[in-house]
Chains A and B, each alone.
Chain A
């Protein structure tokens, strides 16, 4: 029932059209009875009764009614389609909106394939329900009720006798509904899994090929493909048990009518005419009951999908704006970490991190992989919330900032570069959709990307493939850098941004950055000493802690971890130099 109420929430917006549609369906249900009736009249009055002059009027009415009926039916089908498409549109929009605002921790644990399943297959089940099942139920229920009412009006005892079958039908219908629902849920689950396995295979296609694992992938897929078939068959097995029973039970109505009615006629409690009338109405009882099984099936299918969609709509992001969050447009860029602790689940990833950076300063972060460097800057943009301590920007706790304002003033080049399958221009302008071409080119120049872009076949209009396929690793990083620079943020965060960029290009980028970073706060995570050594503050992280901090020369003087790394990267050169004996 919950799902019905939920979908009604959407259909309600088109209430007038919806009820108009139902009304038209009712009209058509009524008009449906006219042709058989007219046909009977023609036979009785025109053919047997020889009133040939009545033929043309009868036919005229018949043709007219059919025309009206088909037109009305066509219209209400479209009405229901419209209502359904509009509702689905709205649901899809809400879902998309929800997805846009769910936080990183949701995406860390949810598979793309699952979400795709919600947005496609489940949506289709809801569509089918709103466009078709609803009015079919309505139409059949109306016909059934009218027929039952009419039968009671004519002869209550016989009507009662016939309804004796109803409890049995009700019982099986109820059983069907309960038994089939879990099978539909199982199909939906399996559909998600199938989606996931295919989608992962597609995105991992390079690795699959590199290791010639096509057969293995085929096997993995076959398991899910087979399971999907099996789940569908499980469901079919339930129908197979119940639908024939319901169908036959609907048929027994006729048997009851002819048997009980016949006896009543014989013992005189029912007239012969009344029995004939009952007989002519029996289809109005039979058909809806036959349909009942299929409709129950449809409803259960709908509920299974709707519940999944509802679940997704109900997920609340943990990261959201506080009721009276700070909506300051311009951000200066003072960043403070005060004894920040953080963990993903149980595992402590950051422990007691404290430091401070002012606008115009550059903070370099260096340390072993897995030390928590990326995590630290994720907290700054509030992609996750701290467990203990606080992160302050311009003296205000990031939890108090309006997230959109906070993030609009920051630009991050994430460690995993993601480019959209869009033009290069579209990718660079991602954060500033209305940027002019000149601005885009300017940003590309700053990121040392302009030259290679010009060498591409369609230059800034070149479409890159999913995730930036078609570009080399370093080219991707530079496009991502241009994308961040175009935003002209107060805080710029570069997470391992030049790892695939050659030294020479990196040096050029550093030079440009220096000139544009005058009033900005900048975070640079890197493994090359050369990338961080100019920083005003260098944080050396290990195991979630800052183990050393200071400037390049301070840290060298400490002769700790930093010095060690420096030795490893630079020591080589020194050795070589002494060997070579040149300056």
Chain B
């Protein structure tokens, strides 16, 4: 799995696909009826609009020369009425279309977010998070205009064109054919522009994504930046990223803006052609003067909606660059999925078996090799070993954050790959090595472990992990708002809170991955006392480096380089005088040497 970083464009895996457009239509389809209503409104409105010139002509030709004031008043009245009708149509068009546009945006965003929830760790691990964010928020927003107004305009414009062509055909078929002569040329130009424009916009969306990723990471890493006085260097990198965004923007619009002048020039050329042909055909009696004049009037009208359609086409191509990304994310398959005929995992007792498990994050470099573990319900298992030996990996597999490469993991004798994922994870309480705190109150953060827990239960959990004292000493106590990632708490306090969260889940299997690494020994001891009765009846996995933390475990597994090289209780292992003994000696020595 190659990881992406901020200055690397993401390759698009699927090629251009007209299906995307179809798929877009499936989002629009539910609003079919309302769109039809809007189109009708638009037609009424344009009908009312068309009355205007007619009324003026009438006034100028008849009422005014005749001095007919009451007739004139009547015309003015009709005109006003027409204006009101247009106004009302416009009002409903705005109402309906913004509703539809926003609903579609909302639906797309929802689908995207929903799939993001399903995606496995590996998806999040392999790219800067800013690049995911930009898809959910910004890309989707860029579709909004296209969806709310673009579609309606397209339909009404197509309609106007049909009507106008109808009129033109009614006047003269031959002239109409001449008037269409520009089409093939226009089609050719569009074809040429299209590919260049599509590439340009894909590039642009990539650059936008890179820029976002860099900003995002700069904000998250600001403390390191300032501590290492990297501000100037970062600013330069930022300028490069920002500049390449600007560059690709300019390139994209340079191509995009070409379409409109092409349409204008082609239109003027065809109009000229029609003049020439038309006038010469007046000479030989083909058309009448009146119909030529009318025809010319229509041909000017004909190109305006066509130019609009051109704009719409532009917008579609631009939107494609975003749509592709959005659909790519919606379609992204999670690596870890529940088997289609997976059963719910029944309430468990907590027997855990690793059966010859082999695992690699990246093919070819196995991290765990033939690991077999047998844990009886209610046992406490401690994992020790050098950092990077695979302890966290073992417990991640237990929650099925990744799929094993080989072997089986069983809980109560059931292979975990045959049960639904939520039913598995809901029975485990996991405290990850990096505690994550959500913005919100401390109360809500702990309650994340079990949403229906009462305040008392939350406080109980906090007391068990010795967090109650410091929480109550805060001005707002449990209602204290913490920010994203828990700024305003010390790291140890954050650990305590995520510890409490895991406990509150009241799990049959409890996983504590270096839960107390940033916590002082005093607190830890107090915590251990409080937890003694809590651990009864639960299977727990504890990872720690301080041996004092784990001595009382029922079973200690010594992990080295992805293998279990020793296994037994503290006393057994000491007696064996193997690696654990050595580790133990070095700890005690380092303390005693004082």
CA–CA, A365 to B88, complex, Å?
74
B356 an interface residue at 8 Å Cβ cutoff? no
Interface size on A, residues (CB 8 A): 179
Query: Given A55-B275, A211-B448, A275-B64, A431 and B228 touching (CB < 8 A)?
Result: yes
Contacts of B586 in A (CB 8 A): 503-504, 507
B327 an interface residue at 8 Å Cβ cutoff? no
CA–CA, A258 to B55, complex, Å?
9
- Over the window 412-450 of chain B, the binary record of Cβ atoms lying under 8 Å from chain A Cβ atoms (1 yes, 0 no) is 000000000110011010101110101100000000110
B136 an interface residue at 8 Å Cβ cutoff? yes
Query: Given A111-B483, A421-B6, A568-B548, A214 and B422 touching (CB < 8 A)?
Result: yes
A121 an interface residue at 8 Å Cβ cutoff? yes
A565 an interface residue at 8 Å Cβ cutoff? yes
CA–CA, A572 to B436, complex, Å?
32
Interface size on B, residues (CB 8 A): 179
B365 an interface residue at 8 Å Cβ cutoff? yes
Contacts of A124 in B (CB 8 A): 138
Instruction: Report whether B72 and A500 are in contact in the complex, using a CB–CB cutoff of 8 Å.
Output: no
> Which residue of chain B lies nearest to A108 when distances are taken between CB atoms in the complex?
B487
Name the interface residues of A213-259: CB closer than 8 Å to any CB of B: 213-214, 216-218, 221-222, 225-226, 228-229, 232-233, 236-237, 239-241, 243-245, 247-248, 251-252, 254-255, 258-259
Contacts of A214 in B (CB 8 A): 117-118, 422
- Most chain-A Cβ atoms within 10 A of its Cβ — which of B55, B226, B475? B226
Name 13 interchain pairs, CB-CB below 8 A, sorted by A. A198-B136, A200-B439, A201-B113, A209-B425, A211-B501, A225-B110, A259-B76, A262-B64, A466-B129, A527-B519, A530-B590, A566-B591, A570-B592
Name the interface residues of B476-490: CB closer than 8 Å to any CB of A: 483-485, 487-488, 490
Contacts of B87 in A (CB 8 A): 244-245, 247-248
B474 an interface residue at 8 Å Cβ cutoff? yes
Instruction: Report whether B94 and A276 are in contact in the complex, using a CB–CB cutoff of 8 Å.
Output: no
Instruction: Report whether A470 and B3 are in contact in the complex, using a CB–CB cutoff of 8 Å.
Output: yes
Q: Select B523's contact among A369, A464, A500, beta carbons within 8 Å.
A: A369
Instruction: Report whether A475 and B221 are in contact in the complex, using a CB–CB cutoff of 8 Å.
Output: no
Name which of A19-27, A140-148, A407-415 contacts chain B.
A407-415
CA–CA, A85 to B491, complex, Å?
42
Name the interface residues of B79-138: CB closer than 8 Å to any CB of A: 79-80, 83-84, 86-88, 90-91, 94-95, 98-99, 102-103, 105-106, 109-110, 113-114, 116-118, 120-121, 124-130, 132-134, 136-138
CA–CA, A102 to B231, complex, Å?
11
CA–CA, A198 to B289, complex, Å?
66
CA–CA, A577 to B80, complex, Å?
103
Name the interface residues of B231-262: CB closer than 8 Å to any CB of A: 231, 233-235, 238-239, 242-243, 246, 249-250, 253-254, 257-258, 260-261
CA–CA, A70 to B266, complex, Å?
11
Name the interface residues of A119-176: CB closer than 8 Å to any CB of B: 119-121, 124
Instruction: Report whether A85 and B116 are in contact in the complex, using a CB–CB cutoff of 8 Å.
Output: no
> Which residue of chain B lies nearest to A555 when distances are taken between CB atoms in the complex?
B594
A9 an interface residue at 8 Å Cβ cutoff? no
Q: Sorted from nearest, which 3 A-B pairs have the closest CB atoms?
A: A474-B387, A369-B492, A236-B98
Instruction: Report whether A252 and B113 are in contact in the complex, using a CB–CB cutoff of 8 Å.
Output: no
Query: Given A46-B279, A74-B261, A258 and B385 touching (CB < 8 A)?
Result: no
> Which residue of chain B lies nearest to A344 when distances are taken between CB atoms in the complex?
B488
Name which of A75-83, A356-364, A392-400, A513-521 contacts chain B.
A75-83
Instruction: Report whether A415 and B439 are in contact in the complex, using a CB–CB cutoff of 8 Å.
Output: no
Q: Select B590's contact among A97, A200, A211, A503, beta carbons within 8 Å.
A: A503
Contacts of A527 in B (CB 8 A): 517-521, 546
Instruction: Report whether B257 and A244 are in contact in the complex, using a CB–CB cutoff of 8 Å.
Output: no
Q: Select A100's contact among B63, B234, B365, B484, beta carbons within 8 Å.
A: B234
CA–CA, A465 to B361, complex, Å?
13
Minimum Cβ distance to chain A for residue B216 (Å): 6
Minimum Cβ distance to chain A for residue B62 (Å): 11
CA–CA, A422 to B217, complex, Å?
11
> Which residue of chain B lies nearest to A46 when distances are taken between CB atoms in the complex?
B279
CA–CA, A62 to B114, complex, Å?
56
> Which residue of chain A lies nearest to B67 when distances are taken between CB atoms in the complex?
A266
Minimum Cβ distance to chain A for residue B361 (Å): 7
Instruction: Report whether A229 and B102 are in contact in the complex, using a CB–CB cutoff of 8 Å.
Output: yes
- Most chain-B Cβ atoms within 10 A of its Cβ — which of A35, A99, A199, A262? A262
Known: A42-B275, A421-B3, A473-B387. 18 other contacts (CB 8 A): A55-B275, A70-B260, A116-B212, A194-B137, A196-B484, A198-B113, A198-B133, A209-B401, A225-B106, A239-B94, A244-B91, A254-B79, A279-B56, A418-B224, A431-B228, A503-B586, A507-B590, A565-B521
Contacts of A467 in B (CB 8 A): 220, 434
Instruction: Report whether A211 and B522 are in contact in the complex, using a CB–CB cutoff of 8 Å.
Output: no
> Which residue of chain B lies nearest to A208 when distances are taken between CB atoms in the complex?
B117
Minimum Cβ distance to chain B for residue A453 (Å): 10
Instruction: Report whether B125 and A470 are in contact in the complex, using a CB–CB cutoff of 8 Å.
Output: yes
Q: Select A213's contact among B253, B434, B448, B523, beta carbons within 8 Å.
A: B448
Minimum Cβ distance to chain A for residue B291 (Å): 11
B276 an interface residue at 8 Å Cβ cutoff? yes
A368 an interface residue at 8 Å Cβ cutoff? yes
Minimum Cβ distance to chain A for residue B106 (Å): 5
Contacts of B399 in A (CB 8 A): 209-210
CA–CA, A349 to B212, complex, Å?
36
CA–CA, A255 to B73, complex, Å?
10
Q: Select B250's contact among A81, A477, A529, beta carbons within 8 Å.
A: A81
Instruction: Report whether A218 and B113 are in contact in the complex, using a CB–CB cutoff of 8 Å.
Output: yes
CA–CA, A100 to B229, complex, Å?
10
Minimum Cβ distance to chain A for residue B465 (Å): 11
Minimum Cβ distance to chain A for residue B431 (Å): 8
Instruction: Report whether A210 and B430 are in contact in the complex, using a CB–CB cutoff of 8 Å.
Output: yes
CA–CA, A374 to B260, complex, Å?
61
> Which residue of chain A lies nearest to B390 when distances are taken between CB atoms in the complex?
A472
> Which residue of chain B lies nearest to A72 when distances are taken between CB atoms in the complex?
B261
Instruction: Report whether B94 and A78 are in contact in the complex, using a CB–CB cutoff of 8 Å.
Output: no
B193 an interface residue at 8 Å Cβ cutoff? no
Contacts of A452 in B (CB 8 A): 388
Minimum Cβ distance to chain A for residue B544 (Å): 10
Contacts of A112 in B (CB 8 A): 216, 219-220, 484
Instruction: Report whether A97 and B235 are in contact in the complex, using a CB–CB cutoff of 8 Å.
Output: yes
Instruction: Report whether B387 and A500 are in contact in the complex, using a CB–CB cutoff of 8 Å.
Output: yes
Minimum Cβ distance to chain A for residue B554 (Å): 17
Q: Select A228's contact among B106, B384, B401, B448, beta carbons within 8 Å.
A: B106
Query: Given A71-B261, A266-B69, A55 and B279 touching (CB < 8 A)?
Result: yes
Instruction: Report whether A52 and B279 are in contact in the complex, using a CB–CB cutoff of 8 Å.
Output: yes
Q: Select B215's contact among A119, A216, A373, A501, beta carbons within 8 Å.
A: A119
B187 an interface residue at 8 Å Cβ cutoff? no
Contacts of A244 in B (CB 8 A): 86-88, 90-91, 94
Contacts of B425 in A (CB 8 A): 209-212
A318 an interface residue at 8 Å Cβ cutoff? no
Contacts of A202 in B (CB 8 A): 116, 124, 129, 132-133
CA–CA, A265 to B61, complex, Å?
13
Instruction: Report whether B90 and A464 are in contact in the complex, using a CB–CB cutoff of 8 Å.
Output: no
Minimum Cβ distance to chain B for residue A162 (Å): 13
Name which of A88-96, A298-306, A330-338 contacts chain B.
A88-96
Minimum Cβ distance to chain B for residue A499 (Å): 4
Instruction: Report whether B220 and A418 are in contact in the complex, using a CB–CB cutoff of 8 Å.
Output: yes
Query: Given A55-B279, A71-B261, A507-B586, A565 and B106 touching (CB < 8 A)?
Result: no
